[in-house]
Amino acid sequence: MNNNFTRDVENALDNLHINGAFLTGGDLKSANTMTISWGSIGFMWRKPVFMALVRESRYTNEFLKSGEKFTVSIPYEGELKEALKICGSKSGRDVNKEELANIKFIPSKSVDTPVIEGCNRYYECKILYKNEMDLDNFDKDLAEQFYKGEKIGHILYFGEIIEEY
Ligand SMILES: Cc1cc2nc3c(=O)[nH]c(=O)nc-3n(C[C@H](O)[C@H](O)[C@H](O)COP(=O)(O)O)c2cc1C
């Protein structure tokens, strides 16, 4: 088990929710990344876990739902701001994000899903559990605010953090 997953977690979570991070699925031959700002890091099933929320419509979800791994790459201090903007507004279905956002997929340490070059904090994760949000069980006001007229909310991906650096 990775016992260091809480290292620098305050910075990691601040940068995640304020500036965004790259959530990547796939492998070195074919990968896609998108910007996320929601997520959590915690301890479940006696394992360190990163939980990400992904809309079914995202191209990245195609990689996550058929894959077993994902990575999270977090730039600090507003770095890669333009790339986060592009990866959070364009779809990999329509554009080549590596070219358009001027980012580079580089090999991870332990999983075949790449990370994004030049970030400050990385999590490599093995998917343990995924679940579509059942809106009948969700807070009514938030359901109205975020998912009005929709059947499912986000898909929750719980990934065991097997590397952090
Ligand atoms: C700051 C920011 C945060 C975002 N956070 C999320 C998120 O947590 N979950 C999600 O599904 N989409 C999120 N998005 C939207 C996706 O990044 C966006 O729809 C992206 O274009 C999807 O790309 P893809 O189709 O290539 O996967 C966010 C966008 C921005 C700009």
Tens of each residue's pLDDT in the chain, 165 residues? 777 899 999 999 999 999 999 999 999 999 999 999 999 999 999 999 999 999 999 999 999 999 899 999 999 998 999 999 999 999 999 999 999 999 999 999 999 999 999 999 999 999 999 999 999 999 999 999 999 988 888 999 999 999 999
Could you tell me the distance, in angstroms and rounded to a whole number, from the CA of residue 88 to the centre of ligand 1?
Answer: 4
Q: Which residues have CB under 8 Å from 3's CB, separation 6+?
A: 48
49-22-91 Cα angle (round to 5): 125
| Ligand 1-lining residues (CB < 6 angstroms) | 20, 32, 34-38, 53-55, 58-60, 88-93
Q: Are 119 and 108 in contact (CB under 8 A)?
A: no
Q: Whose C-alpha lies nearest to ligand 1, atom 9?
A: 54
Nearest Cα residue to atom 17 of ligand 1: 88
Instruction: Give the C-alpha separation, 157 to 105, whole Å.
Output: 21
